[in-house]
Structure 1
């Protein structure tokens, strides 16, 4: 990526380089903002997806999952109750 930016920076007039000795850092700030916003979007969507996949632990399905995980109910009872919950939700 930096090799693609250098020809663009060399084409700028001398006063755009800051003190005349090197590239002006103001040219790189838009790239940093884009990168920061991209990370924010990526991680916020990832957290939203993870929350959606796990579901609400206090919902009826969450309580049912907890009871099945603790061994209070067996698989057939879990599936029957889950089906009843999902039919009632529709």
Structure 2
């Protein structure tokens, strides 16, 4: 006597495998996008960092440095 599952065979395996692969690809894509966004966020310098470097390199004098620093902190 046969039941309804005797005829599915390999197709039954594909019914579970294809959605699993799709979920895996979507999950991996989301992970990679978030990882990339977090890495890019850490590389950005703040305006105060740039101002400090310009002062340290002698591009601006102390008066200009203090004036701009006060503006940026407000």
Shorter-chain TM-score: which interval?
A: 0.5 to 0.7
The gaps in structure 2 that reach 5 residues or longer are: none
| TM-score when normalising by structure 2 | 0.54
Tell me if 1:18 matches 2:3: no
Q: Distance in 1 between matches of 2:21 and 2:38?
A: 26
Q: Which residue of 2 aligns with 1:87?
A: 73
Q: Which has the higher helix share?
A: 2
Return 5+ residue gaps in structure 1 as ranges: 1-11
Label 1:24 to 1:62 Cα distance change in 2 as closer, same or farther (>3 A).
farther
Q: What is the root-mean-square deviation in Å for CA atoms of aligned residues? A: 3.8
Aligned length in residues = 62
Q: Which structure has the larger Rg?
A: 2
Q: Which residue of 1 aligns with 2:57?
A: 72
Using the size of structure 1 for normalisation, the TM-score is 0.46
Change (3 A) 1:17 1:26: same
Report the alpha carbon displacement of residue 24 of structure 1 after superposing the two structures with TM.
2.9
